[in-house]
A and B are shown apart, each in its own frame.
Chain A
Amino acid sequence: MKLKLERRAAPSALVSGATPVLAVIATMIAGGVMFWALGANPAEAIRIIFWDPLFGDFASYTRGQLLIKAGPLILIAIGLSLGFKAGIWNIGAEGQYIIGAVVGAGVGLAFYPTESRLIFPLMVLAGAFGGWAWAMIPALLKTRLGTNEILVSLMLVYVAQNILASMSTGLLRNPDGMGFPGSRNIARDFPAAANPELIAGTGIHWGVVAALIAVIFAYVLMTRHRMGFQIRLAGEAPKAARFGGVRPRRLILFTLGMGGALAGLAGLFEVAGPAGQISIDFNSGYGFTAIIVAFLGRLHPLGILLAGLLMALTYIGGELAQTMIGMPAAAIQLFQGMLLFFLLAMDVFANYRIRLGRTEVKA
Chain B
Amino acid sequence: MQIMIFGQIDLILLLASLMVASTPILLAALGELVVEKAGVLNLGVEGMMITGAVVGFAVGVNTQSPAVGFLAAALAGALLSLLFGLITQYLKSNQVATGLALTLFGLGLSSLLGKPYEGVKAATLGKMHLPFLSDIPVLGPILFRHDPMVYLSILAVVAVWAFLTYTRPGLILRAVGENHEAAHALGYKVVRVRLLAILFGGAMAGLGGAYVSLVRVPQWTEGMTAGAGWIALAIVVFASWRPLRVLIGAYLFGGVSVLQLNLQAAGVAIPVEYLSSSPYLVTILVLVIISLRGQHGAPGSLGRIFHASS
Contacts and interface: CB of A to CB of B under 8 A. Distances in A.
A7 B307 contact: yes
B197 to A, nearest CB: 20
B105 A338 contact: yes
Interface string A313-344: 00000000000000011111111111011001
B256 to A, nearest CB: 13
A330 B115 contact: yes
B218 interface: no
Contact of A345 (B93, B231, B295): B93
Contacts of B115: 328, 330
A26 interface: no
B110 to A, nearest CB: 8
Given A166-B274, A288-B104, A347 B226 contact: no
A158 B278 CA distance: 10
B276 A162 contact: yes
Interface in B101-122: 101-102, 104-109, 111-112, 115
B interface majority secondary structure: helix
A262 B33 CA distance: 35
Contacts, number: 133
Interface stretch (A144-152, A190-198, A244-252): A144-152
B227 interface: yes
Contacts of B112: 328, 330-331, 333-334
Interface residues of B, number: 46
A141 B289 CA distance: 11
B10 interface: no
Contacts of A335: 108
Contacts of B111: 328-330, 333
Interface of A: 5, 7, 89, 91, 141, 145-148, 150-152, 154-156, 158-159, 162-163, 165-166, 170, 288, 291-292, 295, 328-338, 340-341, 344-345, 347-348, 351-352
Q: Which 8 A-B pairs have the closest CB atoms?
A: A337-B105, A333-B108, A334-B108, A166-B273, A330-B111, A330-B112, A340-B101, A348-B91
15 contacts: A7-B309, A145-B288, A151-B233, A155-B283, A162-B277, A165-B273, A292-B101, A292-B104, A328-B115, A331-B112, A333-B107, A337-B107, A340-B105, A344-B91, A352-B92
